């Protein structure tokens, strides 16, 4: 924004985005092993990675079907896949470990 000849950077967020930003402060991407867990019970539709594969932040690792909806579980940071603990058509419970990233 330009005011009286001076430029002031501003950031406009809606209420939801502001609450999410406040809730995630201090929770940067971890540097050690990260275990991707199932957020809900469901059925594994696809596993898009294998052990030792390099992954980028935001890359889809596993597709989980729950309540007739497909949910893409993505990598929270870049790294290398350590272990894949599920396979397609496998039923999983909430909190079950699916994939680890080193």
Residue 31 pLDDT: 67
Say what the pLDDT of residue 24 is: 64
What predicted TM-score, i.e. pTM, was given to this entire model? 0.68
* Domain extent for 81: 29-101
15: in domain: no
CATH code of residue 75 = 2.40.50.100
- What's residue 5's pLDDT? 86
- Phi and psi of 65, rounded to 5°? -100, 130
87 occurs within a structural domain? yes
pLDDT per residue over 7-66, tens digit each?
Answer: 888 877 788 777 877 776 655 555 688 999 999 999 999 999 999 999 999 999 999 999
Is residue 5 domain-resident? Answer: no
First vs last C-alpha separation in the chain = 42
What does DSSP say about strands 79-84 and 97-101: parallel, antiparallel, or unpaired?
A: antiparallel
Note whether residue 11 is domain-resident.
no
Is the pLDDT at 68 greater than 60? The verdict is: yes
């Amino acid at each position: 924004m330009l005011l009286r000849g001076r430029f002031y950077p501003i950031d406009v967020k809606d209420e939801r985005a502001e609450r999410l930003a406040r809730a995630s402060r201090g929770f940067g991407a971890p540097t050690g092993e990260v275990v991707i867990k199932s957020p809900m019970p469901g059925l594994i539709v696809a596993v898009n990675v294998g052990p030792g594969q390099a992954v980028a932040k935001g890359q889809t690792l596993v597709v989980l079907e729950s309540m007739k909806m497909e949910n893409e579980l993505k990598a929270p940071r870049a790294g290398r896949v350590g272990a894949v603990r599920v396979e397609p058509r496998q039923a999983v419970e909430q909190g079950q470990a699916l994939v680890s990233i080193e």
